[in-house]
């Protein structure tokens, strides 16, 4: 007998949940609002206290500086001369005294008094007293006019016994001095004033006691207040709407469909199918789901096994043989069959065919860093995103580990470009952080178009797409590249056997590997701080440059091997004395090397040179360092051993500030794009402030790409202390310790030092 006990409906549970949420929110809002007002009151009190301290400190500084001016004035040789021969005092005061730099502009009046405190000559324009007491009173304030004036006196001494022969007096404008002497963070300098006394004069302590000013508004406090108020209001509105919508939504979206399903199952009592459904009630039974369980269990005797026909089995086997089990895309076998039958499929229509090749950038590093499980998930996402863009009838093929291909029929170059770009947008728009990946994931796409009636052209489609794809992988190029004949010529480093062989032999066996060094210069005295080690390969009398080396290295996954070969070459150059003693050498390491467990061991032999050389490890900020924690550990270990750490090409990638904030970095090298921004009025302020922020954080700055004296001046003005570029020297196999001849470039202040 079915259980017919009374069970609450889902509507009852929904109403209870809404009431609980409302009560919890009201309690949270009340507590948050109270805490916020308490914090705001504390912030205002702190600001008022800090404002009082900084204004009083500024007043004391003004007093000290005024007394120092009076003492310097009293020690002036011409003051002693006036006391000895006072008959020229009126002329001297009118035409000499205020025309010199002895008294600052803040001095409104000055006078010289004899030993009895009598002024040397009465003048109509005098604002000071003609007679003062001896000794004169300490500094005090005259508030007879519109603004307070500070009166300061100092004795004039003469002879080895320092006898007092007279006095000097200064009348100083107080408010301008007070408003300009300091940079105020809390008080508004323009609001500084004093409560006017009943007496015309007052002591300094009385002046301090009468101080009045306005505290600056705290923008953070106002912003937090607005944000909190807005958040509480928005949450209230959202919760109200939620409460109003939730109940009918639950009834409409859940209860009504469940009842419809239950009625449908009742009508299928005599139909085959269905399985025993276990108890669905759990801790919170729902009447509608319980009805489903009861209805389905009544049909358990009427269910039969489903038989699979031979045709279905055959179809399943065919799918398994022609589909990639991981991504669901067609596999290499299906691709080969498709390409073999492509001419017959198209016939003689002569329509254009586009071969699109997609490759995941740095997939091996990602696989090694996050594990094959995450790598498999990435491939699934990429296959799904590409398939969602394809037109009806177009198939996606997985032809390699992380390579996917699509054959687009009746598709010209502009259409193929748009489809590939949409695929790229779909992929980069996916949030891969859901898979635990912290870095943006990029793909490179190569496209090649041919006509089916051109058999030779059709056979070379994949090769051409390969050429275009590797061009897309290079820094500074678009992620989607269409093949052109010029690409084949420019990409000979990837597809030319002699270049491939030369790079491989140099990386693996060290054959032809040569290091060139470019100086990094102290912009203060012209001395060379470091020489950056830059890789070259000599082959058959030709010099293979990095632009042809690194594409081959990346394509063949030889980053770690190249770094080790470079370390061995630099170590040999140090042993041979090619690098001048008491300078330094800067070595670039790739992302895969930085996270390698043996990186510290590779640098062990460099330790014996640390007493004579500064050895710096450069980390390229655009390198894909997926294991940032392990990289930081390795860098911190090297730094503790005496190596310097530099963040290279700062400003050229997407993660500069994150790397700077988390990595143990000593030196930051600004990329040439940022350095060039110093000469652009719209960018200069931003780049300069960025440089100052990094300097204030304790890092040293190096400006890259200095090629003209104009750039040099802009770099110096921005606060850089080291520079690198063709203006100081090009990379060369032989280096020199000679200082840079700044006399032929520009002059620098002597206090510029690294």
Q: For residue 751, what pLDDT is reported?
A: 36
- In a domain? residue 334: yes
Q: Could you read off the pLDDT of 609-648 as tens digits, one per residue?
A: 999 999 999 987 444 455 677 888 889 999 999 999 998 8
586 and 729 share one domain: yes
Cβ pair 192, 55 in contact under 8 A: yes
- In a domain? residue 749: no
Using DSSP bridges, classify how beta strands 163-173 and 107-114 pair: parallel, antiparallel or unpaired: antiparallel
Q: Could you read off the pLDDT of 165-196 as tens digits, one per residue?
A: 899 998 998 888 888 877 888 888 888 888 88
Separation between Cα atoms, residue 279 and residue 265, nearest integer Å? 17
> Residue 737 — φ and ψ, nearest 5°?
-90, 0
- CA 269 to chain CA centroid, Å, is 65
Q: Could you read off the pLDDT of 691-721 as tens digits, one per residue?
A: 888 888 888 999 999 999 999 998 998 889 9
Average pLDDT over all residues of the chain = 79
Q: Structural domain of residue 548, as residue ranges?
A: 497-744
Average pLDDT of span 546-552 = 77
Point out the domain boundary residue: 264, 280, 302.
Answer: 302
> Residue 702 — φ and ψ, nearest 5°?
-125, 130
- In a domain? residue 22: no
Q: For residue 105, what pLDDT is reported?
A: 83
Q: For residue 695, what pLDDT is reported?
A: 87
Question: In which region does residue 650 sit, left (phi positive, over 0), alpha (psi from -120 to 50) or beta (all else)?
Answer: beta
Place 678 in a pLDDT band, splitting at 50, 70 and 90: confident
Residue 752: pLDDT above 60? Answer: no
Separation between Cα atoms, residue 522 and residue 526, nearest integer Å? 5
Cβ pair 479, 442 in contact under 8 A: yes
212 and 227 share one domain: no
Residue 441 is part of a domain; what is its CATH number? 3.30.70.270
Cβ pair 645, 620 in contact under 8 A: no
3-class state of residue 445 by DSSP: strand
pLDDT above 70 covers a percentage of the chain that reads: 77
Q: For residue 165, what pLDDT is reported?
A: 87
412 and 385 share one domain: yes
296 and 315 share one domain: no
505 and 483 share one domain: no
Tokens of 721: 């202390």
Range in 311-315, 393-397, 573-577, 616-620 the model is least confident about: 311-315
Q: For residue 1, what pLDDT is reported?
A: 45
3-class state of residue 483 by DSSP: coil
Separation between Cα atoms, residue 600 and residue 214, nearest integer Å? 58
- In a domain? residue 341: yes
- In a domain? residue 705: yes
Cβ pair 647, 668 in contact under 8 A: yes
Count of domains in the chain? 4
- In a domain? residue 16: no
pTM: 0.44
Tokens of 367: 């696989």
Select from 187, 207, 186 the least CA-distant residue to 195.
207
Q: Could you read off the pLDDT of 478-510 as tens digits, one per residue?
A: 788 888 877 766 555 455 556 777 888 888 888
Point out the domain boundary residue: 276, 302, 328.
Answer: 302
Tokens of 359: 């490759």
Point out the domain boundary residue: 173, 196, 216.
Answer: 216
In the chain the first and final C-alpha atoms are separated, in Å, by 91
Separation between Cα atoms, residue 147 and residue 197, nearest integer Å? 11
Select from 243, 250, 191 the least CA-distant residue to 216.
191
Q: For residue 75, what pLDDT is reported?
A: 87
> If DSSP states are collapsed to H, E and C, what string results for 374-419?
HHHHHHHHHHHHHHHHCCCCCCEEECCCCEEEEEEECCCHHHHHHH
Residue 558: pLDDT above 50? Answer: yes
475 and 517 share one domain: no
Side-chain half-sphere CA neighbours of 663 within 13 A: 31
Side-chain half-sphere CA neighbours of 239 within 13 A: 18
644 and 720 share one domain: yes
204 and 293 share one domain: no
- In a domain? residue 19: no
- In a domain? residue 318: yes
> Residue 682 — φ and ψ, nearest 5°?
-80, -15
* Burial class of residue 393 in the structure, from the number of CB atoms within 10 Å of its CB (0-12 exposed, 13-18 middle, 19+ buried): exposed
Beta strands in 410-562 (DSSP E): 443-451, 480-482, 513-522, 528-539, 542-544
Q: For residue 753, what pLDDT is reported?
A: 29
Q: How many Cβ atoms from other residues are within 10 Å of residue 528's Cβ? A: 23
What is the sign of the dihedral through the CA atoms of 236, 237, 242 and 245? positive
593 and 505 share one domain: yes
Range in 469-483, 492-506, 534-548, 663-677 the model is least confident about: 492-506
89 and 138 share one domain: yes
Residue 159 is part of a domain; what is its CATH number? 3.30.450.20
Q: For residue 198, what pLDDT is reported?
A: 83
416 and 324 share one domain: yes
Q: For residue 750, what pLDDT is reported?
A: 35
288 and 350 share one domain: no
């Amino acid at each position: 007998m079915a259980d017919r006990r009374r069970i609450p409906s889902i509507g009852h549970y929904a109403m209870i949940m809404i009431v609980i949420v409302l009560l919890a929110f009201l309690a949270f809002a009340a507590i948050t609002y109270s805490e916020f007002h308490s914090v705001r009151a504390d912030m205002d009190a702190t600001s008022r206290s800090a404002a009082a301290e900084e204004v009083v400190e500024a007043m004391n500084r003004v007093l000290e500086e005024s007394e120092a001016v009076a003492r310097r004035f009293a020690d002036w040789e011409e003051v002693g001369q006036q006391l000895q021969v006072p008959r020229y005092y009126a002329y001297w005061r009118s035409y000499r005294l205020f025309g010199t730099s002895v008294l600052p502009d803040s001095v409104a009046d000055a006078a010289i008094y004899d030993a009895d405190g009598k002024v040397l000559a009465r003048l109509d324009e005098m604002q000071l007293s003609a007679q003062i007491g001896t000794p004169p009173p300490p500094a005090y304030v005259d508030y007879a006019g519109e603004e307070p004036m500070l009166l300061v006196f100092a004795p004039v001494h003469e002879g080895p016994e320092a006898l007092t022969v007279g006095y000097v007096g200064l009348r100083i404008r107080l408010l301008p001095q007070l408003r300009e002497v300091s940079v105020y963070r809390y008080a508004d300098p323009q609001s500084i004033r004093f409560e006017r006394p009943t007496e015309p004069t007052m002591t300094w302590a009385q002046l301090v006691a009468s101080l009045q000013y306005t505290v600056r508004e705290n923008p953070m406090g106002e912003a937090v207040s607005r944000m909190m108020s807005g958040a509480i209001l928005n949450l209230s509105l959202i919760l109200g709407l939620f409460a109003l919508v939730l109940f009918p939504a639950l009834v409409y979206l859940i209860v009504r469909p469940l009842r419809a399903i239950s009625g449908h199952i009742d009508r299928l009592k005599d139909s085959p199918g269905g399985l025993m459904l276990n108890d669905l009630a759990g801790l919170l039974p729902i009447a509608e789901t319980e009805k489903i369980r009861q209805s389905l269990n009544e049909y358990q005797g009427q269910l039969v096994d489903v038989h699979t026909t031979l045709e279905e089995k055959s179809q399943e086997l065919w799918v398994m043989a022609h589909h990639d089990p991981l991504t669901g895309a067609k596999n290499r076998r299906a691709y080969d069959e498709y390409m073999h039958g492509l001419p017959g499929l198209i016939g003689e229509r002569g329509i254009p065919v586009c071969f699109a090749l997609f490759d995941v950038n740095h997939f091996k590093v990602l696989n090694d860093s996050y594990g094959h499980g995450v790598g498999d998930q990435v491939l699934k996402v990429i296959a799904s995103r590409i398939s969602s863009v394809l037109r009806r009838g177009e198939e996606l093929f997985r032809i390699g580990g992380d390579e996917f291909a699509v054959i687009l029929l009746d598709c010209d170059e502009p259409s193929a470009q748009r489809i590939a770009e949409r695929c790229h947008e779909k992929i980069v728009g996916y949030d891969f952080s859901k898979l635990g990946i912290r870095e943006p994931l990029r793909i490179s796409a190569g496209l090649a178009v041919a006509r089916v009636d051109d058999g030779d052209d059709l056979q070379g489609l994949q090769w051409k797409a390969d050429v275009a794809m590797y061009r897309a992988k290079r820094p500074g190029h678009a992620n989607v590249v269409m093949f052109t004949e010029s690409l084949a010529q420019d990409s000979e480093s990837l597809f030319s056997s002699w270049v491939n062989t030369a790079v491989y032999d140099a990386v693996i066996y060290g054959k032809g590997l040569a290091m060139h060094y470019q100086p990094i210069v102290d912009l203060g005295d012209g001395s060379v701080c470091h020489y950056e080690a830059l890789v070259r390969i000599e082959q058959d009398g030709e010099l293979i440059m990095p632009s042809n080396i690194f594409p081959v290295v990346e394509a063949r996954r030889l980053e770690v091997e190249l770094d080790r070969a470079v370390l061995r070459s630099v170590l040999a150059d140090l042993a041979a004395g090619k690098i001048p003693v008491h300078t330094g050498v800067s070595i670039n390491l790739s992302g895969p090397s930085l996270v390698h467990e043996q990186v510290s061991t590779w640098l062990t032999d460099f330790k014996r040179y640390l007493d004579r050389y500064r050895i710096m490890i450069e980390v390229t900020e655009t390198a894909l360092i997926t294991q940032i924690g392990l990289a930081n550990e390795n860098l911190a270990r090297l730094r503790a051993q005496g190596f310097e750490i530099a963040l290279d090409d700062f400003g050229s990638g997407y993660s500069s500030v994150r790397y700077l904030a988390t990595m143990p970095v000593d030196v930051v090298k600004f990329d040439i794009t940022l350095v060039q921004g110093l000469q652009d009025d719209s960018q200069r302020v931003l780049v300069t402030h960025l440089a100052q922020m990094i300097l204030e954080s304790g890092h040293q700055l190096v400006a890259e790409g200095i090629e003209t004296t104009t750039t040099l001046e802009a770099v110096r003005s921005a606060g850089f202390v080291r520079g690198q570029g063709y203006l100081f020297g090009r990379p060369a196999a032989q280096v020199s310790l000679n200082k840079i001849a700044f006399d032929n470039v520009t002059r620098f202040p002597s206090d510029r030092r690294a």
